[in-house]
Amino acid sequence: MLLNLENIPPFYKNYVKQIDETDLIQALRVSGHRMLETVHGIPESKADYRYADGKWSVRELLCHIIDAERIFAYRALRFARNDKTPLSGFEENDYAPQANAQGRSLKKIADDMAHLRVSTIDLFEGFTPEMLTRKGTANKNELSVIGLAFIIAGHETHHRHILTERYLTDKK
């Protein structure tokens, strides 16, 4: 099933545009693999690095990606089950300090990311074509189940680019 970008809210379009794969499961697999490759290459000594004052540390950024994936997957589950209850948004800057990022090694965070992605793929593989087209409202935006799969992959890809371009350069 192909995704129609016209059905993606403007805030999420830039994430989804970063995905080359047209199959949602392949998009999730590829983005997850690329992110884990990147994370496994980060030395633990760089875990608390921030590229600027007020920015998240490497660990906090990775925990944000995990939190967002869990929330997007939860939304997809609710919408796939035909739940029409409007869902609230979440404030990522409020979540980050509560994620216990400093209490976790990069290896543990990478393990969490890997397990979560397997679970997310399992979730989406269990949806029928009809379920994938279902829509719901989250944070006052109408989203489809299939759109959420591509948002998960695109959000992760977006942050992987930030990680490699701003955190993991040799400029420091």
Q: What is the mean pLDDT of residues 75-95?
A: 94
Is 4's pLDDT higher than 80? no
What is the model's pLDDT at position 97?
87
| Main-chain dihedrals φ then ψ at residue 55, nearest 5 degrees | -95, 155
Instruction: Quickly count: other Cβ atoms within 10 Å of residue 14's Cβ.
Output: 12
Nearest to 31 by CA among 130, 122, 129, 120: 120
Query: Cα dihedral sign for 29, 32, 37, 38?
Result: positive
Q: What is the mean pLDDT of residues 92-120?
A: 94
How far is residue 53's CA from residue 46's CA, in Å, rounded to a whole number? 15
Q: Summarize pLDDT for 58-81 with one digit per residue, the tens.
A: 999 999 999 999 999 999 999 999
Could you tell me the pLDDT band of residue 137, with boundaries at 50, 70 and 90? very high
Could you tell me the pLDDT band of residue 1, with boundaries at 50, 70 and 90? low
pTM: 0.94
Rounded to the nearest integer, the mean pLDDT of the chain is 94
Could you tell me the pLDDT band of residue 2, with boundaries at 50, 70 and 90? low
Could you tell me the pLDDT band of residue 172, with boundaries at 50, 70 and 90? very low
Listed by start position, the domains of the chain span 5-167
Q: What is the mean pLDDT of residues 95-101?
A: 89
Among the residues of 1-144, which ranges form H helices? 10-16, 24-40, 58-80, 92-95, 106-125, 129-133
CATH architecture of 5-167: Up-down Bundle (1.20)
Q: What is the mean pLDDT of residues 100-125?
A: 97
